[in-house]
Amino acid sequence: MLGLSDQHLKPIIMESNTNLLKRVQEELAKESRLKNCLADIYILVNDSAVILAGSVRSESLKKLARKIVSEIPGVNLLIEDLKVETHKQQRVGVQIDWAKGSMALSH
């Protein structure tokens, strides 16, 4: 046992993708300043990694969303790919590349 007592070992708890996704959605929804942007933010979760993509209306909202998600327990990696768009655009598709940690939105 490498000479360590059980009291020094911290358990690693992996939260399910579904539970973590729900918590990310809930935390973002609590922030009233993000209310008008939530429909334009796409959230993907895989093994404690979270990708935020889509659009927000200002740089301050982009930073706020990143801060909220990065402080959620269980989020071990955050890939933030939010774009600042002052006007709404129609989205027709999403392409996800987990290996590169990116998500592309097509208009």
Tell me the residue range of the domain where 84 lies: 15-106
pLDDT in tens, 51-60: 999 999 999 9
Name the more confident of 13 and 40. Answer: 40
- CA separation for the pair 45, 28 (Å, rounded): 14
Residue 8 included in any domain: no
pLDDT in tens, 68-98: 999 999 999 999 999 998 776 655 566 666 6
Over range 35-58, report the average pLDDT: 92
- CA separation for the pair 21, 75 (Å, rounded): 10
Quote the number of domains for the chain. 1
Instruction: Evaluate whether 57 touches 37 at the Cβ level (below 8 Å).
Output: yes
Residue 1 included in any domain: no
Residue 51 included in any domain: yes
pTM above 0.75, yes or no: no
Residue 30, domain CATH? 3.30.1340.30
pLDDT(107) > 90: no
